[in-house]
Structure 1
């Protein structure tokens, strides 16, 4: 376990979530499906999120457990990487719209909590 990496990993998750939400703002599923570069950028950042959550599970399981769908996030990353030809744009789009804002909120809350009470972050190490 390497909980000292937790803040950096959380920031990486937040950054990737923010990027995806930003580039899809004002877009539709049809826009998403029709723009290859957009799809690839989104999928890459979803992979980063999944990999970072997987790292968080190894480095700081208690913090990872506070993310509501951490196991599904890692599983989704695996589909994007290994089952790339099976990816359903509608499922990705639904994930962006319904799951990503919640994940970003949870991660931001964890980062704010660590900023407010650094000793609590140390206690989890």
Structure 2
């Protein structure tokens, strides 16, 4: 099995974050807390985001410490292994406070990573 490129992992991260924000954009906390389907959607997308963040290269993580890669991966691990202790108010707070700035930050980062990967593949780096 080949190692995924950082650009692929960032694309997965961006897609999951955008999808979650879009899906919850017309919901309130009260609606979210009473809708198990919305909760399942959130947990699934956070799982994807955490898995993608965990597999971004260490070099990229060091270059972009403003993104809390470890926390994203840790949240995924918590959701997967401690699913019975998930606090959905905390999940909601993360959606409304952490994801919006992340989805603004990811597109230019992704563009730069794609450009760097192309340059490396062409032997320009």
TM-score in terms of structure 2 length: 0.84
The answer for the alignment partner of 2:77 in structure 1 is 78
Please identify which structure carries the higher helix content: 1
| Counterpart contact for 2:6–2:113, Cα < 8 Å | no
Offset of residue 64 of structure 1: 2.3
User: In structure 2, what is the Cα distance between the partners aligned to 1:4 and 1:35?
Assistant: 34
| Higher mean C-alpha displacement, 97-106 vs 107-116 | 107-116
User: Root-mean-square deviation (CA), in Å?
Assistant: 2.4
Matches for 1:1-125 after TM superposition, within 5 Å: 5-56=5-56, 60-65=57-62, 66=64, 67-115=66-114, 118-119=118-119
Residue 42 and residue 16 in structure 1: after superposition, are their counterparts in 2 closer, same or farther (change >3 A)?
A: same
Offset of residue 77 of structure 1: 0.8
Moved beyond 6 Å, runs of 4+:
120-123
Give a deviation string over 1:81-104, Cα, whole Å, max 9, x none.
111111111110010011112222
Structure 1 alignment gaps of length 5 or more = none
| Counterpart contact for 1:114–1:121, Cα < 8 Å | no
How many residues end up aligned between the 2 structures?
A: 120
Q: Of the two, which has the highest radius of gyration?
A: 2
Structure 2 alignment gaps of length 5 or more = none
| Counterpart contact for 1:64–1:70, Cα < 8 Å | yes
